[in-house]
Each structure stands twice: as C-alpha cells, then as structure tokens.
C-alpha cells in the first residue's frame, strides 16, 4: 500500500540552528500538508500546499517556517532558527484531491531542540 515517508525519524538540533524535515508524499497525490504535535497534545495544522504554492497556513506557521517542493517527489519543511518550543513531532500528509479527500499521514519526525 502506498505510504507517506518522512526522514529523519528523529532530529536533534541546537537552538538557533536551521533544520529541514523531509517528506515523500504518495506519488499521485497533489495536495500536501504539514502538521505539528507537541508531546501529548493534539495535532495542529501548519500549512497546506498545492500547485507549488501555499494554499493555507496557520498562525503557528510564521516567518521562520517555509515549505518547498524541490523536485517531483519531495516536500520539505524548513525551520530557519529553531526555538526550544519548536520541539514536537512534525507530520507530513498528502491527499489526492484536497478538500474533503482523505489525508494520509507519515510516521512523523521528532524534532528535539536543545
């Protein structure tokens, strides 16, 4: 069964450093998403992406965050200058049709900012 894959599974970084989290969405999907889950809390929407541009973003997704689809398969989330409070699980998701279509999630990247 096709799945969303994310790398790395765990990223440790120093405060102030830049990190790039990588995702390979399901191959025929056109809509891509990033979510964040602080330990033990609910999953929070960060950003959605379609046709090489951001379609929607939350208040969490401020200027230190950016997303990119550098090629035909990868979808990345960059955090420019990490803060302690950025420590969380980051989930990538994709869907074929957007809107009400099912979003399929990857296993996540645990980001630990020291």
Instruction: Give the binding site for another protein (CB under 8 A).
Output: 4, 33, 39-45, 48, 56, 58, 91, 93, 100, 102-108
Whichever of 24 and 107 has its CB closer to another protein, that residue is 107
Q: Least separation, in Å, of the C-beta of 103 and another protein?
A: 7
- The Cβ of residue 107 has, within 10 Å, a number of other Cβ atoms equal to 14
Contact by Cβ (8 Å): 47, 57 = yes
Give the separation between CA 91 and CA 104, rounded to whole angstroms: 10
| 76, two tokens | 């990345």
Cis peptide before 43 (omega within 30 of 0): no
Q: Least separation, in Å, of the C-beta of 64 and another protein?
A: 20
Whichever of 14 and 99 has its CB closer to another protein, that residue is 99
Q: Least separation, in Å, of the C-beta of 16 and another protein?
A: 26
Whichever of 14 and 28 has its CB closer to another protein, that residue is 28
* Residues listed for the chain: 114
């Amino acid at each position: 069964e096709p799945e969303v894959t994310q790398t790395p599974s765990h990223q440790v970084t120093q405060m102030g450093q830049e990190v790039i989290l990588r995702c390979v969405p399901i191959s025929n999907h056109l809509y891509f998403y990033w979510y964040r889950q602080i330990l033990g809390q609910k999953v929070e929407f960060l950003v959605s992406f379609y046709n090489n541009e951001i379609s929607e973003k939350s208040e969490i997704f401020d200027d230190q965050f950016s997303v990119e689809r550098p090629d035909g398969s990868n979808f990345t989330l960059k955090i420019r200058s990490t803060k302690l409070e950025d420590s969380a699980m980051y989930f990538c998701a994709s869907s074929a049709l957007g809107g009400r279509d099912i979003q399929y999630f990857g296993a996540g990247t645990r980001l630990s900012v020291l």
